Amino acid sequence: MTVTRRNLLIGTGAGLLATAVANVARAQHEGHDMRNMPPPAAARPSTPGARGRVVTPNGWTLPHRMNNGVKEFHLVAEEFEHEFAPGTTAKVWGYNGSTPGPTIEATEGDRVRIYVTNRLKEHTSVHWHGLLLPSGMDGVGGLSQPHIQPGETYAYEFTLRQHGTHMYHPHADEMTQLALGMMGMFIIHPKDGEAEAIDRDYAILLHNWALHPGTYRPDPSILQDFDLWTMNSKVFPAIDSLTAVAGERVRIRLGNLSMWNHPMHLHGHVFQVTGSDGGRWPKGLWRPEVTEIVGVGQTRDIEFVATPGDWAFHCHMSHHTMNAMGHELPNTVGVNQRGVEEKIRQMLPGYMAMGENGMAEHQDHTDAGHMPGPPNTLPMMMGSGPFGKLEMGGMFTVLKVRESGAHSDWYQNPAGTVARRVSSDPGFGQPPRRQR
Ligand SMILES: [Cu+2]
């Protein structure tokens, strides 16, 4: 048996202390690998698309060709290596070398023909999630068509009779094929243009991955206990930031093919929810929100007028903004670990007891390169901003709105508009406190 930090510790202790020690060690062990750490840098901004075109941050749009009035696309189901952020890669499945697969963009009324070539070693199919089409084009393997066997190419062909934000994914060995990354967005523009002109149009597909620490293949058997939470199959800080100029109308199209619902929260704005997989809603049904739950298998469109600043945009399930193993850790808050560190260091040089006062010190230690961990595993918290560490990961990115088109890395706050320190004395002032 390989001697790891975890089994070494679990095998040497007894009683409460040993359990606490092993738990702390597990917390440290499973969250960190300093060997391939990305620099604590800002993500690159998304490149704006042409007006009316969708930008898929960290992703791309599938080109098409016209053939006698039919828009032809070609998807290839295949296995390849994918990077979630520098330091963590995995063997995943997707389309045309990417997860999510390339975004398909078309217009209401288009006749589309989509070739699907299967380069996997098992059969597959593609379901066009939310699209109105003939039953035989719906892509449920065994129900609406024969499965697409390895090496085969099938053609799907139908006319787009609606518009909105939709998705595509396999309907064959679905649990495995989705868990390994096979999914994409299918966006249909309205024939008659938008009710409100859109300046920036972003598409983000939400997903989760059971890429256990130290492993290279997502585990398809996991129901809830995921390690990575992604926007377009990337984790913060590798997720492209969303950019806009003040006053522009921005739409973010969100799709969810993960195993959890995601309450997506935007700072600094009240957005309107303007559509779903059911299409673009009539204006009378739009509703103002700052957090919108995107349920499993659903899409939501949100729109807002951009306000200058650097604004967080993230899932509000706080574990979904952590990287590997930020969840289900033993609770070390308030646990006095004096003496423990020295004892463990006799077996594991460099061991650090952490978590007594909170978890934020994790990022200090991992950024500083203090602790080795399993290979191919991201720390649970990452990323830095102009004022310090962000202590985030997973489904988190930044909406960067500037007064003009010139992009600056971080927002230049006008004088007097940043929260400031007024005292370093814990006894400062006389705040009212509840009597006990
Ligand atoms: Cu979430």
Q: SS3 for 296-360, per residue?
A: CCCEEEEEEECCCEEEEEEECCHHHHCCCCCCCCCCCCCCCCCCHHHHHHHHCCCCCCCCCCCCC
The pLDDT of residue 339 is 78
Residue 249 domain flag: yes
- What are phi and psi for residue 182, nearest 5 degrees? -85, 105
Give the count of domains, the chain: 1
Instruction: Look up the domain containing 135 and give its range.
Output: 64-319
- What is the distance in A from the centroid of ligand 1 to the CA of 392? 13
Residue 332 domain flag: no
Residue 398 domain flag: no
Residue 387 domain flag: no
The pLDDT of residue 349 is 66
How sure is the predictor about 39, in pLDDT bands with cuts at 50, 70 and 90?
very low
Residue 412 domain flag: no
How sure is the predictor about 404, in pLDDT bands with cuts at 50, 70 and 90?
confident
- What is the distance in A from the centroid of ligand 1 to the CA of 236? 13
CATH of residue 289: 2.60.40.420
Residue 392 domain flag: no
Q: In terms of Cα–Cα distance, which of 326, 344, 307, 330 is closest to 8?
A: 344
Residue 28 domain flag: no
Q: In terms of Cα–Cα distance, which of 212, 138, 142, 144 is closest to 173?
A: 142
For 146-189, the pLDDT digits (tens) are 999 999 999 999 999 999 999 999 999 999 999 999 999 999 99
d(CA 59, CA 426) in angstroms, rounded, equals 47
How sure is the predictor about 224, in pLDDT bands with cuts at 50, 70 and 90?
confident
Provide the greatest CA pair distance for the chain: 80
- What is the distance in A from the centroid of ligand 1 to the CA of 22? 29
For 342-351, the pLDDT digits (tens) are 777 777 666 6
For the cut 80, the answer to whether the pLDDT of residue 15 exceeds it is: no
Is 336 in contact with 356 (CB distance < 8 Å)? yes
- What is the distance in A from the centroid of ligand 1 to the CA of 82? 21
For the cut 70, the answer to whether the pLDDT of residue 205 exceeds it is: yes
Residue 122 domain flag: yes
